[in-house]
Amino acid sequence: MPYMHKLSSRQWLILILLTVIWGINWPVMKIGVTGFPPLTFRMICLSLGTPVLGLALVWMKVPLRIERKHWPELLVLAVFNMFIWHGLIIIAVQSLSSGRAAILGYTMPMFSAVIGAAFFGNRLQARAWGGVAAAALGVVLLLWHELTNLTGKPVGVLLALVAACTWALGTQLLRRTRMPVPTLAISFWMTLMTSVVMSTLAVLFERDQWQAPSEATWMSIAFNAVLVFGFAHAAWFYLARSLPPVASTLSVMLIPVLGVFSGALWLGEVLHWQDWAAVVLMVMSICSVLWPVAPPPENTDRKTEEQTAA
């Protein structure tokens, strides 16, 4: 039976930074799209963030060339990891509260576990399934006081859930790619392609709504351009490709919790006991896949036989 994955110090650092940036980005995005076209917001963020990521990779001397034969696979990865997610979730954020949009978006780990087990032959330990169950219960608790409100916004809820499901499939596909290129190169080209797609959608559907961004919107754009697209997405793809699927997905379950509490702090969203209980469940979920398992004791009889033979 395979052991649970143990993170290196580098992976822990990346995971912590990723959690903080993505967690507080939910209220940041909500501020950015309040009174501003959501696809246009995403277009500007990507247009500014892609060069930031590209310059960072050039400075790091990361080879960016991808052979033409790998571009069809790269396009599939971009569709499920980036295109659908970014297009749908930013619209959902505009119609839902920031914290609850984060919760719905981070049903992704549950979708990923089910997709992995059903279609990719993943064999999960009992405690990994326990972690999925704990994360699912945490989501239910966090939505406890929002069910009435959410029923009045079915489109936003549906968009967030579809975005989460496709992101889960994309994570599974990314984990299994055999493209002989650095993960950071894959991240750059997917981000660039998504920038083109979001720009096209913004022109087609929101051109008549274009307006000058407010100061708060510009601050949200800067946060997304530099920290989210310049760092966080590349960090996520690195974790998703270097860790087992269940470990990479459940390890980020603290992000929606941080989104809920930062939304409460900045946007005045009311917290209930269910929110606090969800924190405990999310931590349990993370520990279920990241807490190392001691290797089984060496077979004593076999060791004795080897000593006798010697």
Q: Cα–Cα distances in Å, from 254 out to 15, 176, 220, 250?
A: 10, 25, 21, 9
What residues in the chain have per-residue pLDDT under 50?
Answer: 1-4, 300-306, 309-310
Whole-number pLDDT of residue 102: 86
- Compute φ and ψ for 153, nearest 5 degrees: -130, 60
* Residue 53 · residue 187 · CB < 8 Å: yes
Q: Which residues contact 269 (CB under 8 A, 6 or more apart)?
A: 97, 98, 99, 260, 263
- Kindly report, residue by residue over 69-79, the tens digit of the pLDDT: 999 999 999 99
DSSP H or E run through 230: none
Complete DSSP assignment for 247-262: HHHHTTTHHHHHHHHH
What whole-number distance in Å separates Cα of residue 72 and Cα of residue 240? 20
CA-based R_g, the chain, Å:
21
**DSSP 8-state secondary structure symbol assigned to residue 97:** -
Q: Which amino acid is at 49?
A: G
Per-residue pLDDT at 303: 47
Summarize pLDDT for 38-82 with one digit per residue, the tens. Answer: 999 999 999 999 999 999 999 999 999 999 999 999 999 999 999
